[in-house]
Amino acid sequence: MLFKKKVLHWAIVFLLAFLLLDVSHFFRAPLLPKGSQPVIFRLEPGTSFWRVAYALHDQQLLSRPAYWSAMVFLGGYSRDLKAGDYQIVPGEKPWELLQQIVQGKIHLYSITVPEGWTFSQMTDLLGQHPYVEHTLEAYSPAMIMQKLGKEGVGDPEGYFFPSTYLFARGTPDIIILKVAHETMRQKLEREWANRDPNVPYKDKDEALIVASLVEKEAARHEERPIIAGAILNRLHKKMLLQVDASVIYGLKGRLHGKLTKEDLKIDTPYNTYLHKGLPPTPICLPGDDSLHAAMHPVKSNILFWVARGDGTHQFSLTLKQHMQAVDQYIKNKHNDE
């Protein structure tokens, strides 16, 4: 009888020791081995803590779902698990993941709107993102502006800042647009407040239109203020702006290949070869550099610019100089082709 008790005693001791070692290993072992790719774990709303454990186990992230459940229950966290997407990184421990979920440190997705894109391209991008809630598919641009509280603004072009925006899964597209619109409003207000006092704009909207032209015409940071100044010089002299990018915008997708002489004859409000002054609206979403350039143009007598083909431009003071530059950089290039 004594022998059986000793055997039972040591069996319990060994069992407890094994359990302690196993629990210790559970807490120390990473959910993902180092060198592997991060994994997104989706915690659906209303999921119980023990179902979370077995969902992690099913994804081969958790070796002992019972230990996880005990950790959550005994720690008093069973009602604190917050729904959302969580990124599990290599080396992360079960306790660290639990704290991440309890604190609601959800994974944020991103969407990047490049500088120079149009509003249409931006909404198309939002419409294609799998983790954005699509609520605006049947809305016209004017209706979208109305939902943003901008009733009466028929054309939203230019009034959204191109940048990278972070959001949680299921964020409605209108929320992202609202953030982008408010960002542009703040940046435009700031640049307008600090503008060169000699710029001739009637209001911020005109400055935004020039910024959009600069955005499409200039690729180099240092050239943006020069082109802004040249645009204002042409406006001052009542010259046609003759900005190809504005013509292309007015064609609304009807352009096939390169801009031709026939395209320049098509009468749209954006054809700056036919109509003097600025186009009626911005032609794209300008970034920081272009906004700043429009508010701080270089003072010069430059009236013309032509692309050299390497991202830079040849600037000219006279039509004669400009035509020589066109011969050098445009006609010769076409002949080479």
Q: 204-240 pLDDT, tens per residue?
A: 999 999 999 999 999 899 999 999 999 999 999 999 9
The residues near 194 (Cβ < 8 Å, ≥ 6 apart) are 295
Considering the domain architecture, whether residues 205 and 298 belong to the same structural domain is answered as yes
- Asked if the structure places residue 234 within a domain, the reply is yes
Q: Taking residues 153-174, what's their average pLDDT?
A: 93
Q: Which of 50-64, 191-205, 270-284 has the lowest mean pLDDT?
A: 50-64
CA separation for the pair 208, 23 (Å, rounded) = 62
Side-chain-facing half-sphere of 336: CA atoms under 13 Å: 8
| pLDDT higher than 80, residue 138 | yes
- Asked if the structure places residue 281 within a domain, the reply is yes
The domain total for the chain is 2
- Asked if the structure places residue 83 within a domain, the reply is no
The whole domain housing 224 covers 201-302
Considering the domain architecture, whether residues 210 and 177 belong to the same structural domain is answered as no
Considering the domain architecture, whether residues 205 and 292 belong to the same structural domain is answered as yes
Considering the domain architecture, whether residues 175 and 250 belong to the same structural domain is answered as no
| pLDDT higher than 90, residue 169 | yes
Considering the domain architecture, whether residues 214 and 279 belong to the same structural domain is answered as yes
E-assigned strand segments in 13-163: 39-43, 84-88, 109-112, 132-133
The listed range with the strongest mean pLDDT (49-58, 135-144, 163-172) is: 163-172
Question: What 3-state DSSP class applies to 327?
Answer: helix
- Asked if the structure places residue 158 within a domain, the reply is yes
Considering the domain architecture, whether residues 218 and 288 belong to the same structural domain is answered as yes
User: What pLDDT is recorded for position 25?
Assistant: 58
Give how far the C-alpha of residue 121 lies from the chain's centroid of Cα atoms, to the nearest Å: 12
- Asked if the structure places residue 205 within a domain, the reply is yes
Q: If pLDDT is split at 50, 70 and 90, which confidence band does 24 have?
A: low
